[in-house]
Amino acid sequence: MQPDKAPVSNIWIINFHSATPETGMPGRHHYLARELVRLGHEVTVIAARAQHLLRADIVAQTLPADERIEGYRFIRIAVPRYAHAHDKRRMIAAAVFSMRLPGLRHRLGARPDTVLVSSPDLMSYLGAERLARACGAKLVFEVRDIWPLSLIEIGGVSPRHPFMRLLQWIEDRAYMRADKALSNLPGAVEHMVARGMERAKFTWVSNGVDLAEVEAPAPLDPHIAVQIPQAGLRIVYTGALGMANALGTLIESAALLKDLDDVHILLVGEGRMRGALEALCRGLGVTNVQFLGSIPKPQVHAVLRACDACYIGLTSDPLFRFGVSPNKLFDYMASGTPVLYAIDSGAFNPVAEHDAGIALPPEAPEALAGAIRQLHAMPEAERQRRGANGRRAVLEHYDYAKLAKRLETVLVGPQP
């Protein structure tokens, strides 16, 4: 955006869990905010100052409450601290965050033209609705994880639980009262319509990649680089070591590949499941799985370039029938590395659609071991062809610069 030109529109993006490249895993809103600024808009991202997705070495109290990052304004709201994603105090923090949102119109000395509020923190919607109505702004509700359905179907929480009923009331209110709705899940519209939303409100805006990070990744820290084998078939997973990511299936498949001593599985990330996964390796006598720990987001593509295939999996929960949109999938495809895609994501399967790797059922160790054997025997030229297909698909469909233009039409309408 040229500094001597007035912004086209003032857009506020509210996401309790937003982070920057320096503080955590920068998700869609960091990249979309930056691209919206380049399209001529004034953009403010609003997040909680203390939240569980910040890097472990970040002390929340030292983070600035207000700063400029790559052209957009980042506002952090003070909330009570909590320990992890399942800490009950997280809901208290979410309630405080929501209650403090309406006061931003006085604190920031400006009024938005559009307010986008993002789930899974549904509590934020209530404060965002008050803020938008007080400012006369358009209100856009974004669904990334479908709450409370995720807690009910994956977490096993009863839909009759009082808190689930509260979240259900908020979700239904958002579908009815928001001016527009969007999601990174292509099939989420069916759930939204079933809950009473008008279908015409919906737009799909996928997650994507930052092409600058793809083309010029930050160099790997030496202590990580030396742990990556120099030869063999190197299969990498990057991201949280969480229950939903079906990493136990990957380790069980490794136990079926003991005759292939040049297959190496690298897990890059941290999470509450690490101890259990390490114990599973010991119990199965698996020695070809390495835990590399977490790395900064700008280094992820350096790891992907050093490997021969990427793994992404999810549990076989029916919730994924609405589609999935994990950031790591598009990073994998953008790297030009073939993907082992062990997810039942309904009609949305970009790996199969673009012939960008091997698609297989979730939580099926034998099938995954078979797919790894297939990659192991595959000529290098064929692996490269599939990887190139994935990269081409990302450049055409999942570049954040292009996705921001689609989002722009939702937030402010078509631009000349």
Q: DSSP labels for 193-226?
A: HHTT--GGGEEE----B-HHHHHSPPPPPHHHHT
Q: Which tens digits make up the pLDDT trace of 387-399?
A: 999 999 999 999 9
Q: What angle do CA 21, 122, 239 make, to 5 degrees?
A: 35
pLDDT at 4: 53
Does one domain contain both 261 and 167?
no
The residue type found at 163 is F
Does one domain contain both 290 and 196?
no
Does one domain contain both 35 and 20?
yes
Does one domain contain both 333 and 406?
no
Residue 1 lies in a domain: no
Residue 272 lies in a domain: yes
pTM above 0.85, yes or no: yes
Residue 79 lies in a domain: yes
CA distance 46 to 325: 22
Q: Which tens digits make up the pLDDT trace of 159-203?
A: 999 999 999 999 999 999 999 999 999 999 999 999 999 999 999
Residue 3 lies in a domain: no
CA distance 254 to 287: 9
Instruction: Specify the DSSP element, H or E, that contains 151.
Output: helix 149-153
Does one domain contain both 232 and 128?
no
Task: Say how many domains are in the chain.
Answer: 2
Residue 70 lies in a domain: yes
Does one domain contain both 360 and 235?
yes
Does one domain contain both 286 and 352?
yes
Does one domain contain both 56 and 149?
yes
Q: What angle do CA 44, 45, 51 make, to 5 degrees?
A: 155
Q: Are strands 72-77 and 66-69 parallel, antiparallel or unpaired?
A: antiparallel
Does one domain contain both 340 and 305?
yes
Does one domain contain both 83 and 200?
yes
Range of the domain at 186: 10-208+399-411
Q: How many CB atoms lie within 10 A of CB 266?
A: 22
Does one domain contain both 192 and 216?
no
pLDDT at 1: 45
Tokens of 356: 């960008």
Q: Which residues of the chain have pLDDT under 70?
A: 1-6, 26, 416
Return the CATH number at 350.
3.40.50.2000
Residue 2 lies in a domain: no
Q: pLDDT > 70: what percent of the chain? A: 98
Does one domain contain both 158 and 278?
no
CA distance 358 to 379: 15
CA distance 35 to 17: 19
Q: What is the CA radius of gyration of the chain?
A: 21
Residue 4 lies in a domain: no
Residue 246 lies in a domain: yes
